[in-house]
Structure 1
Amino acid sequence: MLRAREIARLAAAGQDAAAAELKRCEALISAREGDIRAFASRPAQLEPGTGPLAGIACGVKDIVDTADLPTGMGSSIYDGWQPRADAPIVTALKAAGATIAGKTHTTAFAFLDPAPTRNPHDLNASPGGSSSGSAAAVAAGMVPLAIGTQTGGSVIRPAAYCGVAAIKPSYGLLPTVGIKTFSWSLDTAGLMAASADDLGFALAALTGRAELDAPEAGLKGLRIGVARQDFAGAADAASDEALRRITALAAGAGAKLVELASPPALAEAFHAHGPLQDFEATQALAWEYAERRAALPPKLRAYLDSARNVTPRQYDEARRLSRRGRAACHDVFTEIDVVISYAAPGEAPATLASTGDSKFNRLWTLLGTPCLTIPLTKGPRGLPVSFQVIGRFGADDEVIAVAKSLEKLAAAEV
């Protein structure tokens, strides 16, 4: 995979060097796109910008508005639709010197109907969703950086299935204005890259928050909670083994491991994710449902048919349980520094018809906490298996620092 920090270092030599890095990405995209199908649209040529991300080609999920490329939402309803303005996150990318390499395929309206993208590790396996193209483009070595979004598990899960690093930052750290809404209480923009180090570097440059480019954290004495999220159901043996291995590595480095028994309020918050998302999705997609229902893909159409049954009272109760969950989460983090948990139930599904299950991601999305996933091992079919590091709301720098240390431990073991 391409390394964002290394590319930025090489590109710092000047515009010619930055242009050369972009040409390298163009060649890599041309070589692999026919198999991977990561991109919905691309510009005719990649031009270098000026700034800390100069020379870095970035894929942007195709529910994010771009003034120079169409935003198709993964749906025939928006074929050829051309926004007049860039979403603020795209403006920030360009201001930092990054170059938009293209719009990456998304599942339709970021739901469950699969995109045409394939997993670079196995072309017959799912790349996950909904940020399918973003994860696959980084995993295939076509771009060093990509933007995804997460409402349930759509940054962390595809990154885990494709074996790349990804961060879903604290809710609101990256702007979601100009991104097609599914659930305004949950939608969160995130980044995918080759490593936790690249994520910290890019997120700091994108937000102007230098502290996010954090040095590795000292693991000795660090209090790590192990969350198996029993309320979400069981993980596959491969994910259990990945969690066992990373906790053993952390303990060997001097971290204090604590098995977390989830407070009832967190289990309630997990179950509140469904009605909260359902109620908001019916409003966010109200025009498409009312005017173009027949053009909606089957899984989304059936989902919206059912989601309309959620009442305002059920929605208000889901919001109340969400607030209780956030309070309980705050209390959990008074006893520990970070949490380690599953990033996905196991390897990527062995079919392109599924985007997988977000059950180990939904709670943290609802709570708004930062999550960072790192690939660790391979499952029985030889596909990547990852884990995720979760921190308290606003502690994105700490999550990045710990993830970088764990990433280094994992690399040393290999």
Structure 2
Amino acid sequence: MNPNRLHAWQAADRIARRELRAEDLVRACLERIDEREPALHAFVQLDREAALAQARALDAGPLRGWLHGLPLGVKDVFDTVDLPTGYGTPIHAGHRPAADAAAVSLCREAGSLVLGKTVSTELANMHPGPTCNPHRLTHTPGGSSSGSAAAVADFMLPLALGTQTAGSLIRPAAFCGIVGYKPSLGRVPRAGVKSLSESLDTVGGFGRCVRDIALLGAVLTGDARLRHWQAPDAPRIGLCRTPQWDQADADTQRTWQHAADVLAPLAAACRDTALPAGSLAWVQLQKDVMAHETARSLSHERTRHAARLSTPLRALLDAGSAIDGAMHAADVAAVMRARQAVDALFERHDLLLAPSTLGEAPAGLDHTGDPLFCRGWTMLGLPCIHLPVGHGASGLPVGVQLIGRYGDDHRLLGAAQWAFERLGG
């Protein structure tokens, strides 16, 4: 097997035992990039020689941490001291940060090396970049973490960083057929990441299996329990179709039902679960909070460079500017009430099984798909993980989303491994 096709945890284990050189893994990833990048467009910056030099230094030195020798893709909204960070917009083209984002620094400290910066949508919003879906180049890879998801899915990288403010980790993971992890809100430092929404922005990442995500998540959160979970007992599963179930297409409904049918007889308990009263309003509440806070976070771009922003982003900023501080305070209070109400569900359930997306990745590269089935969970700040468990009618990936209790990321990942094994992952 070519080294670039190893799971991250497998490559890390072989490097730690000196059975695989980091340099050989980097070369294999670069060969794959040379082969596929002209069609896929997953990267905005690569520094081959620097990556190879870092790999040789890691091979020559002591083990530095759990990610020792693993190439990492970094979404182009994370500051990097050695590569430009453009935030997905020509407004900031060529910008050279003075320091790494905290998440990038933590990964480097654990022994990873940054192979390149991956494509983000415009300022991590909805206007797409050039990245294509690796399974079908005429379809979107999702967004905003487009390049990170596509690069991991196409074996260019074992791991990559992304962010989620609405659905920017779970949706591209679903469309590209990999595992995506959105930690509990606040578990990963956001310093050095282009801010959109203080109430919603979350740093996470992508891998090709749950164990990969556990490795990366342990480094990002500093919580070793994410990596060293004990084999979990069968979890108690809440079957949560969500109030938007009728907007899911046949592929999503069939895949969700298949997962429920497989897991139900094996779980400690499995029952249909209704969300608390008022949950139908959560999607709009997330949209309003995101719009208001994004308009304020992007005040510089809005006031100094409006003509260089896409029409959809200008519309979002206009909508956010129309929500005044008093209205936003009321929205934030409603969010806090919703977070308190949903916590009670986890007295009866260890995890919720929900849809990830409306369906397969849509055709076309002029949009990134609808984050409908992610908005509410992001607003609630809960940890989420996407599991790729099948394909839709046209052959593109589909899967399901598991949601855990706030702060119980290690329990969610343990249960996700349990579920992934039984769903054929």
Deviations 1:38-61 (A, max 9, x none): 001011321224322112111000
Give the counterpart letter for 1:217 in structure 2.
P
Deviations 1:246-301 (A, max 9, x none): 11111132442111122114333333111111111111000111000001122112
State the distance in 1 between where 2:140 and 2:245 align. Answer: 21
User: Retained in 2: the 8 A contact 1:96–1:206?
Assistant: no
Deviations 1:348-370 (A, max 9, x none): 01111110111110111111110
Equivalent residue in structure 1 for 2:315, among 284, 297, 302:
302
User: Retained in 1: the 8 A contact 2:292–2:317?
Assistant: no
Question: Which residue is equivalent to 1:218?
Answer: 233
Question: Which residue is equivalent to 1:69?
Answer: 83
User: Retained in 2: the 8 A contact 1:2–1:138?
Assistant: no
Equivalent residue in structure 1 for 2:129, among 106, 115, 121:
115
The 1:68–1:361 alpha-carbon spacing in structure 2 relative to 1, beyond 3 Å, is: same
SS in 1 for 2:21: helix
Question: Which residue is equivalent to 1:102?
Answer: 116
Deviations 1:298-338 (A, max 9, x none): 21122212321112222112111101100111111112111
2:215 aligned with 1:241, yes or no?
no
Deviations 1:109-164 (A, max 9, x none): 01111110000000000100000000000000100000000000000000000000
User: Retained in 1: the 8 A contact 2:383–2:409?
Assistant: yes
Give the counterpart letter for 1:6 in structure 2.
Q
The 1:295–1:2 alpha-carbon spacing in structure 2 relative to 1, beyond 3 Å, is: farther
2:167 aligned with 1:149, yes or no?
no
2:287 aligned with 1:274, yes or no?
yes
State the distance in 2 between where 1:88 and 1:77 align. Answer: 23
User: Retained in 2: the 8 A contact 1:37–1:116?
Assistant: yes
User: Retained in 1: the 8 A contact 2:292–2:319?
Assistant: no
- TM normalised by structure 1 equals 0.96
Give the counterpart letter for 2:47 in structure 1.
P
Equivalent residue in structure 1 for 2:223, among 209, 219, 227:
209
Question: Which residue is equivalent to 1:4?
Answer: 8
What aligned pairs does 1:175-190 form with structure 2 within 5 A after superposition?
175-190=189-204
State the distance in 2 between where 1:67 and 1:297 align. Answer: 28
SS in 2 for 1:114: coil
State the distance in 2 between where 1:216 and 1:270 align. Answer: 35
What aligned pairs does 1:48-87 form with structure 2 within 5 A after superposition?
48=55, 49=58, 50-87=64-101
Question: Which residue is equivalent to 2:185?
Answer: 171
State the distance in 2 between where 1:224 and 1:19 align. Answer: 43
**Runs of at least 5 residues in structure 1 that lack an aligned partner in the other structure:** none
Give the counterpart letter for 2:38 in structure 1.
G
State the distance in 2 between where 1:255 and 1:358 align. Answer: 31
**Runs of at least 5 residues in structure 2 that lack an aligned partner in the other structure:** 59-63
Question: Which residue is equivalent to 1:27?
Answer: 31
State the distance in 2 between where 1:299 and 1:15 align. Answer: 50
The 1:289–1:251 alpha-carbon spacing in structure 2 relative to 1, beyond 3 Å, is: same
User: Retained in 2: the 8 A contact 1:41–1:103?
Assistant: yes
The 1:369–1:82 alpha-carbon spacing in structure 2 relative to 1, beyond 3 Å, is: same
Alpha-carbon offset, residue 229 of structure 1: 1.2
Number of residue pairs the alignment of both structures matches: 410
Alpha-carbon offset, residue 210 of structure 1: 1.4
Alpha-carbon offset, residue 15 of structure 1: 10
SS in 1 for 2:127: coil
Alpha-carbon offset, residue 205 of structure 1: 3.4
Question: Which residue is equivalent to 2:210?
Answer: 196
User: Retained in 2: the 8 A contact 1:265–1:328?
Assistant: no
Question: Which residue is equivalent to 1:378?
Answer: 391
Aligned-residue Cα RMSD (Å) equals 1.5
2:360 aligned with 1:347, yes or no?
yes
Equivalent residue in structure 2 for 1:327, among 340, 347, 354:
340
The 1:409–1:73 alpha-carbon spacing in structure 2 relative to 1, beyond 3 Å, is: same
Alpha-carbon offset, residue 232 of structure 1: 7.0
What aligned pairs does 1:368-407 form with structure 2 within 5 A after superposition?
368-407=381-420
Question: Which residue is equivalent to 2:145?
Answer: 131
